[in-house]
């Protein structure tokens, strides 16, 4: 019968045959479940002939790039290069407030940075010679539902919002696509990740959008706004985990609203920003319900965010289902 152990063995064999004894594979990792599991599987199959790239676009979660490097590279041995391109991304995002424009800029800049790094790695690989052939393959962590969606229909999020991908690389770099997860559903990818010894907190992680905090910061994305969004998000998720609620929630994040509110601190009047808490439960992200936190948990979150995040004096909660709302604010 079909077991996850036999899937791993078969898939590793398939990858080795496909890539050949000297073949090279390149791929992007994001810190999400799918790309991490795909990367670890690839590492098991061909070791350092798989080259992972993580692009720090400046709108990731707090300390995300460092944590992914520690986990994937130091702990799991994946051959990973982290590129800090935050200045480039934030430069291009300067003055931009339109959400679709933000998505386009981040998607296009991602491809640009990824291609440049890939070309650099290709050069190094050539110079190293020896056991190494050319980079011919691009890893993608595509799941079965993605395959179905792209064949049969375009869901609302695909048509209403532009989800970025690295499809252009296939033509530009003449890379062939390798998709080890293409027959799996999300829960199967999680089971696979556990067997591959990927830490539980990563395997069970909520999804995070490609355009990152840029679509959770309403209005212009600046370093200062990113700092506020990162710190608030860190506290929110930390309290969710401490309350033991993380696994009951499908996705949770803070939105930084484009308004200021009057507040008071000591005997001083403040005029600062507003953080909105958003947590949803959903099966498929096409529809979603807002998550009902116990009041004591909300109180703790609100106190911590207003006390610890400089520049925020008010916390509100989003109690909108999807539809009519979407999960994200932008």
Burial string for 32-45 (b: 16+ CB within 10 Å, else e) reads: bbbbbbbbbbbbbb
Residue number, 69 or 102, with CB nearest to ligand XMP: 102
3-state per-residue secondary structure call for 46-113:
HHHHEEEEEEECCCCCCCHHHHHHHHHHHHCCCCEEEEECHHHHHHHHCCCCCHHHHHHHHHHHHHHH
How far apart, in whole angstroms, are the C-alpha atoms of residue 117 and residue 119? 5
Q: Does 227 bind ligand XMP (CB under 6 A)?
A: no
Q: Which tokens in the block code for residue 287?
A: 């529809």
Q: Does 132 bind ligand XMP (CB under 6 A)?
A: no
204 is in an annotated binding site: no
Region of 121-129, 176-184, 193-201, 204-212 interacting with ligand XMP (CB under 6 A): 204-212
Distance in Å, CB of 60 to ligand XMP, minimum:
13
Q: What is the DSSP letter of 278?
A: E
How far apart, in whole angstroms, are the C-alpha atoms of residue 313 and residue 269? 10
36 is in an annotated binding site: yes
Q: Does 163 bind ligand XMP (CB under 6 A)?
A: yes
Region of 33-41, 110-118, 133-141, 207-215 interacting with ligand XMP (CB under 6 A): 207-215
30 is in an annotated binding site: yes
Q: Does 235 bind ligand XMP (CB under 6 A)?
A: no
Q: Does 294 bind ligand XMP (CB under 6 A)?
A: no
Of residues 209, 254, 278, 301, which one binds ligand XMP by CB under 6 A? Answer: 209
- Residues within window 85-104 making contact with ligand XMP, judged by CB under 6 A: 103
Instruction: Please provide the DSSP assignment of 152-215 as one string.
Output: H---HHHHHS-----THHHHHTTPEEE-TTTT--HHHHHHHHHHTT--HHHHTPPP--TTGGGG
How far apart, in whole angstroms, are the C-alpha atoms of residue 266 and residue 189? 51
Of residues 27, 31, 141, 210, which one binds ligand XMP by CB under 6 A? Answer: 210
Q: Which tokens in the block code for residue 48?
A: 């350092």
Q: Does 109 bind ligand XMP (CB under 6 A)?
A: no
Region of 41-49, 128-136, 209-217, 291-299 interacting with ligand XMP (CB under 6 A): 209-217
Q: Which tokens in the block code for residue 102?
A: 């933000």
Distance in Å, CB of 263 to ligand XMP, minimum:
29
Q: What x-and-dash track marks residues 250-289 binding ligand XMP by CB under 6 A?
A: -x---------------------------------x----
Place of tokens 């690295």: 166
Q: Does 327 bind ligand XMP (CB under 6 A)?
A: yes
34 is in an annotated binding site: yes
311 is in an annotated binding site: no
Phi-psi region of 195 (alpha: psi -120 to 50; beta: other; left: phi over 0): alpha
150 is in an annotated binding site: no
Q: Tell the burial category of 155 from Cβ atoms under 10 Å away from its Cβ (0-12, 13-18, 19+).
A: middle
Residue number, 103 or 314, with CB nearest to ligand XMP: 103
- Phi and psi dihedrals of 280, rounded to 5? -130, 155
32 is in an annotated binding site: yes
Residues near ligand XMP (CB under 6 A): 103, 157, 161, 163, 207, 209-211, 251, 285, 322, 326-328
Q: Which residues are annotated as a binding site for ATP?
A: 30-36
């Amino acid at each position: 019968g079909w077991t996850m152990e036999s899937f791993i063995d078969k898939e590793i064999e398939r990858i080795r045959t496909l890539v050949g004894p000297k073949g090279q594979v390149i791929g992007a990792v994001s810190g999400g479940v799918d790309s991490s599991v795909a990367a670890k599987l690839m590492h098991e199959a061909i070791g350092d002939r798989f080259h992972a790239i993580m692009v720090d676009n400046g709108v990731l979660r707090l300390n995300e790039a460092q944590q992914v490097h520690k986990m994937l590279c130091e702990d799991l041995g994946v051959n990973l290069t982290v590129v800090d391109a935050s200045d480039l991304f934030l430069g291009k995002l300067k003055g931009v407030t339109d959400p679709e424009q933000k998505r386009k800029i981040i998607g296009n800049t991602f491809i640009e940075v990824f291609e440049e790094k890939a070309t650099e790695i290709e050069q190094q690989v050539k110079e190293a010679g020896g056991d190494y052939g050319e980079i011919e393959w691009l890893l993608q962590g595509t799941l079965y539902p993605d395959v179905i969606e792209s064949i049969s229909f375009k869901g609302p999020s695909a048509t209403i919002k532009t989800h970025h991908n690295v499809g252009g690389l296939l033509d530009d770099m003449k890379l062939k696509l390798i998709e080890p997860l293409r027959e799996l559903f999300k829960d199967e990818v999680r089971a696979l990740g556990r067997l591959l010894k990927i830490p539980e907190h990563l395997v069970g992680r909520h999804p995070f959008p490609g355009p990152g905090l840029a679509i959770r910061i309403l209005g212009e994305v600046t370093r200062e706004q990113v700092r506020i969004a990162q710190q608030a998000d860190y506290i929110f998720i930390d309290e969710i985990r401490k309350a033991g609620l993380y696994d009951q929630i499908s996705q949770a994040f803070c939105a930084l609203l484009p308004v200021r509110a009057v507040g008071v601190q000591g005997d001083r009047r403040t005029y600062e920003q507003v953080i909105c808490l958003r947590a949803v439960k959903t099966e498929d992200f096409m529809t979603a319900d807002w998550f009902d936190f116990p009041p004591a948990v909300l109180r703790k979150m609100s106190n911590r965010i207003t006390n610890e995040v400089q520049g925020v004096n008010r916390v509100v909660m989003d109690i909108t289902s999807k539809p009519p709302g979407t999960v994200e604010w932008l």
